[in-house]
Amino acid sequence: MAANKKTPVRRETWKRLLSYLHASLPLLILTILFAGATVVLSLWIPVLCGRAIDCMTGPGKVDFDGIADCLVRIGIAAGLVGILQWVMNSLNNRITYRVISDVRRDAFATLTHLPLSYIDSHPHGGTVSRVIADVDQFADGLLLGFTQFFTGIATILCTLFFMLTIHPLITLVVVVLTPLSLFVASFIAKRTYDMFRLQSDTRGELTAQINEVIGNQPVVRAFSKEADCLAEFDGINDRLETCSLRAIFFSSITNPSTRFINNVVYAAVALTGAFAVIGGGMTVGGLTSFLAYANQYTKPFNEISGVITELQNALACAERIFSLIDEPLELPDKPDAADLAGSEGRVTAEHVDFSYVPDRELIRDLNLTVEPGERVAIVGPTGCGKTTIINLLMRFYDVGAGAIRVDGCDIRDAKRDSLHGVYGMVLQDTWIMKGTVRDNIRMGRAATEDEIVAAAKAAHAHSFIRRLPKGYDTVISDDGGALSAGQRQLLCIARVMLAIPPMLILDEATSSIDTRTELKIQNAFATLMRGRTSFIVAHRLSTIREADIILVMNAGRIIEKGTHDELLAEGGFYAKLWGSQFEEAGAAV
């Protein structure tokens, strides 16, 4: 049953591969033509060798002119074979890496349009392994296949023709016995596919673990988890060693097995050919040519068997990368999707339900109305759904039930780009791209130098930027390089200050900033938020005292709503949160 299920998958993988080859069809045809020409010239050489041998019929009976003519022709043929093989290999390289480039481009295009639910639920290292390591393995198998497959097929067909012209009966012996090697190769290849697929999966798991540990080295060292991480690495690495050795061992049996059968074929040809020479049905030169052809005929079977083994590995890797490309993308915008540009900033949530996992409810019957220009603070214990509401407002996730509307328009009926364009977002987790400080600030929109500097000053980032080696032209890496967490966050705040969006989302936007700078940033944000609908997620309640409305969440529901003073007067959940933070602050003092 398992084999029957896998066969259609492999067939579909081959179809996908052929679709990528369609764009390189002219080069593919040239490769086939050059392969045929190379084989014909290579097989002409044994004919010339046989003629040269027949020019030496006995003592004193040597045709030196005939031998010289054969040698010249052999030299010309060998030279042309070398040139054609070089051209053919160049074409094969171009075809292979064009295909690989297209596959990687499609894979990355898929990554940029995958829903966040996929990104959040799959190890990043495993995804990177598919796009990098698996595609490289796929390229190696594809290149080997192009290089040897066409030449091998052409060699078999042309050699068969030449042998038939010399001695049809002995040719029949070769044709009957040689397919045994293909049967052996096919038998082994079918059993190595699953091993190579397991090898690719385990390699992806190892890449994910390495990526996770390297990306979180401070945490690993702070909690002295080096030994545990090493033990986990050794476990995955040992499994990779085991499955790799099994795959390589069984695949390596292919070539010796086919060579053994081919040697049997060669011995059978030599024996029958010797009897034919004794009986006068063939010359010594003819037998020499025929033995050369028999060797040439069986050689491609060895090469093709090796190609089949490599292709099993390539096919397993291709299946993994194609499965990534075929992942369901974000739902596209509707043809008549609304454009939210120029939004007034009125946001409503109507009976919204949502959960990341179907059997684990999170947001339940959420109802919310935010008028244009209101500052809405969202507070509550960890895991209550604060950041989830932000994800739903931005439509990073679609609601399970109910609707979220902006200016009366269901955000599922709006263009995603326009929805994201009306929000300016600063998260607790900063995102810095590789480039200059200037490029990072003006990511939100194109701007003049004066506007960039003004945004940096508003975010209180200008002073530390000036102290950098090249100021705004300083190149920083995607992890922020030598910048502190607070400095990276100031750059993200400057980015939003420059964009000046109609609405703001601040999710712990000042969590990595010192208290003195935070007060200045709060004043800058107060100016920026004036007249703009703003959603503020904060754990430090002192930062949201001036909010127009505070939503208190617990277990996915809004349990309290009001201003700071109103909620304190009620003496409910918010008052308890405020009191606990005040007590902690007093204890710390």
Residues 368, 402 share a domain: yes
- Asked if residue 519 is part of any domain, the answer here is yes
**107-147 pLDDT tens trace:** 888 888 888 888 877 777 778 878 887 888 777 777 666 66
Residues 572, 549 share a domain: yes
Residues 279, 159 share a domain: yes
Residues 196, 134 share a domain: yes
| CA atoms of 356 and 388, how far apart (whole Å) | 9
Residues 248, 139 share a domain: yes
Highest mean pLDDT among 277-286, 351-360, 481-490, 534-543: 351-360
Give 431-434's long-range contacts (Cβ < 8 A, gap of 24+): 431/492, 432/476, 432/477, 432/478, 432/479, 432/480, 432/483, 432/488, 432/491, 432/492, 433/478, 434/475, 434/476, 434/477, 434/478
What CATH number does residue 314 fall under? 1.20.1560.10
Q: Which two tokens stand for residue 407?
A: 């200016």
The pLDDT of 354-377, averaged and rounded, is: 84
pTM for the whole structure: 0.65
- Asked if residue 415 is part of any domain, the answer here is yes
Domain boundary (291, 325, 359) is at: 325
Rounded to 5°, the CA angle 470-471-472 comes to 110
User: Measuring CA to CA, which residue among 492, 564, 549, 502 is closest to residue 528?
Assistant: 502
Residues 575, 550 share a domain: yes
Residues 493, 508 share a domain: no
Domain boundary (465, 500, 535) is at: 500
- Total of domains in the chain: 3
Average pLDDT value over all residues in the chain: 79
385 DSSP assignment:
S
Within 10 angstroms of residue 493's Cβ, the number of other Cβ atoms is 28
- Asked if residue 221 is part of any domain, the answer here is yes
**11-59 pLDDT tens trace:** 777 788 778 877 788 888 888 788 788 878 887 887 777 777 777 765 6
Q: Which two tokens stand for residue 162?
A: 């030449």
The residue that leads in pLDDT, 384 or 404, is 404
What CATH number does residue 565 fall under? 3.40.50.300
Residues 514, 490 share a domain: no
- Asked if residue 73 is part of any domain, the answer here is no
Predicted local confidence at residue 588, as pLDDT: 42
Domain of 408?
347-422+503-588
Strands 557-562 and 401-406: unpaired
CA dihedral 154, 160, 161, 165 (to 10 degrees): 160
Residues 383, 523 share a domain: yes
Residues 250, 270 share a domain: yes
Domain boundary (500, 535, 557) is at: 500
| CA atoms of 325 and 196, how far apart (whole Å) | 20
At 281, phi and psi to the nearest 5?
-85, -5
User: Which residues share a beta bridge with 370?
Assistant: 347
- Asked if residue 150 is part of any domain, the answer here is yes
Residues 123, 260 share a domain: yes
Q: Please tell me the least confidently modeled range out of 27-36, 139-148, 364-373, 552-561.
A: 139-148
Predicted local confidence at residue 583, as pLDDT: 55
Q: Which two tokens stand for residue 146?
A: 């192009």
CA distances from 265 to 8, 115, 290 (A): 35, 58, 12
The pLDDT > 70 percentage for the chain reads 88
- Asked if residue 444 is part of any domain, the answer here is yes
The answer, yes or no, to whether residue 4 has pLDDT greater than 60, is no
For residue 18, the surrounding DSSP H or E stretch is helix 2-21
| CA atoms of 24 and 377, how far apart (whole Å) | 57
Q: Which two tokens stand for residue 291?
A: 């033995």
Residues 296, 211 share a domain: yes
- Asked if residue 69 is part of any domain, the answer here is no
- Asked if residue 27 is part of any domain, the answer here is no
CA atoms in the 13 A half-sphere facing the CB of 553: 27
User: Measuring CA to CA, which residue among 72, 276, 309 is closest to residue 173?
Assistant: 276
